[in-house]
A and B are shown apart, each in its own frame.
Chain A
């Protein structure tokens, strides 16, 4: 291709500017278009409408005895529902929160002291801690113990020892009655 056909070499200065402006406009227009096309193809990976709609779970608390715990599924995750004994509640309340890695009072983590509701996912890297069954190891603080990398949680679900950075999360829940809750 000989050089004299090349568009860059020709034209008076004002034509040059107008052409550059045209090229830039077209390029910018194309880029905006490409960007807007990309979005639906990314957003499709977000939860679909039916997934979002299924985001509450109701739990009947009546069969749970003091000291017992059950695990229910909420949004595909385990939720720990534990009916604490008075001793466990006392243990949780007596802790000096200034010594905690993620300082939080027990009151801030429960609606009714008897019922501790937690998302059962270790805040380290996502394993499910042990301690729901009475036969489980509950760690040095009587709450939960995550076997993956050794995180210990207390009877309020707060991180006390091990690599996890945060307390076990408390999901949004409401008491529908004394004996039932809705999570989510």
Chain B
């Protein structure tokens, strides 16, 4: 960058600036003429895509922070205010929430690309390590960001993850107290998480700068993994890769906005639309999908490390070291191999019995005979935490584990299948992480964890010494890629296309099946395509698993008060909720809209029936204009409620008629009064009920129409009722609707079924008042992006025409 070799610019203003601060010269050098290997495939787009996602997250994040209130009492409300009242707030928030997922998708693909083509190898070790640092910072940022909406998953996610540190011997509990700033996750925790969530992205920007700097020192790797030999191997970054990156970016954005505008909550958890409640944990806690593989490894360590296991492990480690890490084992070791193996087996059998087969009744007799079985060198909790952090640590040290001379997997006959297996292992781990930790998911996660570490600690060192070194192409220029580029694009496109419908289908399945806690295993089949698809689909699919993993929604605080035990422990529950039938709702699908007449009828049902017990605090009377009511009608409706206001000049509270700006009046003064009036079961607020339940509108409709006489032999307490769609079947809410209970002004039938349909339509609107605007905007955005992508593709082809 020395000003000596600087070339003058024609534009006098640019020249004036550049001669004083050569930013333009630097841009020109690093992004204009920067020599870039000419054989990049589309996997090389994801660095630039990740960069754009980072900027998107910062821009949306800062605008959200202008409206967000990091206070435990008001955080949830302020997020809902962003969704309902702030101009375009719903769009900005959904862009941010889904942006996190797509940032991780881009980064995961970027990382796997580096892994596959050996981009972590000399001389790019530090580049890789900086990238891993970015990944780690992203995980911290993502985790803290998920806490901010202060819903149930936020709160319990924060509790679980901060409690990881309590596994640290001696100081663990003090560290956790320090993190919390109290004795549980609470307001101080939220405040500091907000501060850090705001700070860390800028730290990421700093490390990204170093990452890019390091890249520009060594230059990019390429699919062949061989060094650039000269000018004929490279192209200037601009316009070749600026255009190619932009085209790839726009294609990526199309998928991103499709999620944002048409299924904005499919990557989140319905539980997070329930305000945080420190007294009730949701039955099935899962982190965001991008943490699932690591979460699975955390949970895989279900056993204490007994003397036997550690002994067998030490011997195994020694043998692995001798046979995999060294070129040839020591002479003395060679002769000792058989006895050592024997010893490992002798120790391993009781070790394995204690670790994995403790619960098999047939083996109790044998296990009881093992001496010193209570001696444990490391508790399971610490083991799990170390395993999870270790799984990231091995990625950091990968450049030093792998010193095989060939970079790209294309020319590594052993590494290539191994790294693809690693991808599958990682995906399977993600699926395991999304399931309840029971049944065969536990051993599966354990085997996959072992496989994950074996790749780094056994396979890679072994390959160093034994994998044949193939003859590499002489230069990039000579090696016209054997695979036509269109094939790569085709595969990518097929993968993405195959994913979208399968995701939709999985969603449909989740919706159509009852969110019964009793049938987790048979629900969330991973669409098979994910297994062979690109890594883009991999994490997303794992997440789908999470999103559709069934959860028993009605917690203790809600209707299911006495029944929640069954709900949480499905295995013991004698009765299962029947599958939830899928209804045909006019407001679903990309073109769906609300039916105004149904909304008005639904509001009537809510007002005359539901509002006797259920509040709807987040909806204001003025919002009713969306139902087609006139200003005068709204004023009349509002004035029917008497709202407590004040204090007046005398310092007293007083009642006044409601105004359109007031929110719906709650039937009870506070939650305690509501509980007392309802046999201890709190009727949940209905403002978000459709978004806060797995199955959404189908579930609410199911509950409203699912009342039956209990099957023979079932005892119900006097305050309980039998509902075939309720998880656990026992519900505290008496059947709310009866034929003819509400008289409609038009000729719509006054049946329970019709009431249920209408009120669900109304509740769906209350949950997502922005839905129609969201879909309309989404269609426009996608239409625009598709045309733009077409234009960019034409531009890109024109520019590249000379090169091909």
Interface of A with B (CB < 8 Å)? 1-2, 5, 7, 10, 19, 22-23, 25-26, 29-30, 33, 40-41, 43-46, 48-51, 53-54, 56, 63
Contact = CB atoms under 8 A, between A and B. Distances in A.
Given A43-B87, A44-B92, A53-B660, A63 B236 contact: no
Nearest to A15: B798
A2 B660 contact: no
B239 to A, nearest CB: 7
A22 B794 contact: yes
Given A40-B88, A43-B87, A48-B86, A22 B798 contact: yes
A156 to B, nearest CB: 27
5 contacts: A5-B802, A29-B788, A44-B88, A48-B81, A48-B89
6 nearest A-B residue pairs (beta carbon)? A40-B88, A53-B661, A48-B85, A49-B85, A50-B85, A1-B236
Interface stretch (B59-67, B207-215, B544-552, B561-569): B59-67
A43 B788 CA distance: 25
Contact of B86 (A29, A44, A54): A44
B617 to A, nearest CB: 13
A26 B785 CA distance: 11
Contacts of A50: 81, 84-85, 620, 661
Contact of B84 (A2, A10, A26, A49): A49
B85 A5 contact: no
Contacts of A54: 661
B791 A29 contact: yes
B620 A53 contact: yes
A75 B727 CA distance: 48
Contact of A45 (B66, B234, B798, B802): B66
B647 to A, nearest CB: 14
A46 B659 CA distance: 23
Interface of B: 33, 35, 59-60, 63, 66-67, 81, 84-89, 91-92, 231, 234-236, 239, 620, 622, 649, 659-661, 784-785, 787-788, 791-792, 794-795, 798-799, 802-803
Contacts of A22: 791, 794-795, 798
B253 to A, nearest CB: 10
A41 B92 contact: yes
B85 A51 contact: yes
A43 B88 CA distance: 8
A29 B60 CA distance: 22
Contacts of B794: 22, 26
A1 B235 contact: yes
A63 B89 CA distance: 42
Contacts of B88: 40-41, 43-44
Given A5-B235, A7-B802, A30 B84 contact: no
A44 B67 contact: yes
A30 B788 contact: yes
A7 B620 contact: no
Contacts of B659: 56
B792 A26 contact: yes
Contacts of A25: 791
Contact of A33 (B84, B649, B661, B784): B784
A1 B87 contact: no
Q: Name the residue in A7, A45, A56 with the highest tally of chain B Cβ atoms < 10 Å from its Cβ.
A: A7
Contacts of B239: 7
A41 B660 CA distance: 28
B33 A1 contact: yes
Contacts of B803: 5
Contacts of A45: 66
Given A7-B799, A19-B798, 4 more contacts: A1-B235, A29-B788, A41-B60, A48-B87
Nearest to A18: B798
A56 B788 CA distance: 46
Nearest to B59: A41
B66 A7 contact: no
A26 B290 CA distance: 35
Q: Name the residue in A19, A30, A41 with the highest tally of chain B Cβ atoms < 10 Å from its Cβ.
A: A41
Given A1-B235, A53-B660, A44 B89 contact: yes
Q: Name the residue in B33, B84, B87 with the highest tally of chain A Cβ atoms < 10 Å from its Cβ.
A: B87
A170 B649 CA distance: 24
Contact of A7 (B33, B86, B231, B798): B798
Contacts of B795: 22-23, 26
Contacts of A23: 795
A5 B795 CA distance: 16
Contacts of A30: 788
Contacts of B799: 7
B63 A41 contact: yes
A25 B239 CA distance: 16
A51 B81 CA distance: 11
Contact of A40 (B91, B784, B787): B91
Contact of B87 (A7, A46, A56): A46
Contacts of B92: 40-41, 44
A18 B416 CA distance: 45
A40 B231 contact: no
B791 A63 contact: no
Nearest to A8: B239
A7 B234 CA distance: 16
Contacts of B620: 50, 53
A44 B85 contact: no
Nearest to B663: A50
Nearest to A23: B795
Contacts of A40: 87-88, 91-92
A43 B86 CA distance: 9
Contacts of B649: 63
Nearest to B793: A26
A106 to B, nearest CB: 29
Given A49-B84, A53-B620, A53-B660, A44 B792 contact: no
Contacts of B67: 44, 48
Contacts of A46: 87
A167 B81 CA distance: 37
A48 B622 CA distance: 13
A140 B358 CA distance: 94
Contacts of B792: 26
A29 B784 CA distance: 9
A41 to B, nearest CB: 5
B387 to A, nearest CB: 42
A23 B794 CA distance: 9
A41 B33 CA distance: 34
A56 B662 CA distance: 12
Nearest to A28: B791
Nearest to B88: A40
B231 A1 contact: yes
Nearest to A45: B66
Nearest to A43: B87
Nearest to B60: A41
B798 A1 contact: no
Contacts of A1: 33, 35, 231, 234-236
A1 B240 CA distance: 12
Contacts of B622: 49, 53
A169 B67 CA distance: 30
Contacts of A2: 231
Contacts of B91: 40
A29 B81 CA distance: 33
Q: Name the residue in A2, A23, A54 with the highest tally of chain B Cβ atoms < 10 Å from its Cβ.
A: A23
A44 B87 contact: yes
A80 B791 CA distance: 60
Nearest to B798: A19
Contacts of A51: 85
A60 B659 CA distance: 17
Contacts of B791: 22, 25-26, 29
A53 B67 CA distance: 17
Contact of B63 (A44, A49, A63): A44
A44 B64 CA distance: 9
A46 B795 CA distance: 38
A38 to B, nearest CB: 10
Contacts of A49: 84-87, 622
